[in-house]
Amino acid sequence: MHATASQLDLTFAALADPTRRAILARLAEGEATVNELVAPFDMSQPAISKHIKVLENAGLVSRGRDAQRRPVKIEALPLADAVGWLETYRKFWEQSYQRLDSLLDELQRFAPNGDKKN
């Protein structure tokens, strides 16, 4: 399934914030409660909850229910869609660098004074 433009917008907007990226990095290690996610930050629980809500609205995390716990876990699909979208541009830059390398190789065959090095 390919992401819609609006889904990509939500994903990249959510990823634009360093706190949200740090939360995702922590969740990549395994699910955690909100209180566990608050610990490494100099932020209140409501502030972290707002960040989690943005991530949840973007589909990047989900909340489960485990008795009294509501663990937060990472959801990979929106990230995979973003990587897929970025991959198109990596290929573009790769081809551009290959053309530049070819041009530089061609130019290096000539000495600075215009004489051929061959």
pLDDT digits (tens, 9 = 90+) for 63-81: 988 777 789 999 989 999 9
Q: Give dist(CA 75, CA 78) in Å, integer.
A: 7
pLDDT digits (tens, 9 = 90+) for 9-22: 999 999 999 999 99
Query: Coil, strand, or helix at residue 60?
Result: coil
Q: Which residue has the higher pLDDT, 12 or 117?
A: 12
- Mean pLDDT on 24-51: 94
Q: Give dist(CA 70, CA 31) in Å, integer.
A: 10
Helix (H) or strand (E) holding 21: helix 18-27
Q: Whole-model pTM above 0.85?
A: no
Q: Which of 17-21, 42-46, 96-100 has the lowest mean pLDDT?
A: 96-100
**For helices 18-27 and 5-15, what crossing angle results, to 10°?**
100
61: in domain: yes
Going by C-alpha positions, the residue among 40, 42, 87, 81 that lies closest to residue 60 is: 81
40: in domain: yes
- Mean pLDDT on 1-7: 76
Q: How many structural domains are present in the chain?
A: 1
**Burial profile 61-81: b = 16 or more Cβ within 10 angstroms, e = fewer:** beeeeeeeeebbebbeebbeb
Give the range of the structural domain holding residue 103, as residue numbers without chain letter. 5-107
113: in domain: no
CATH number of 70's domain: 1.10.10.10
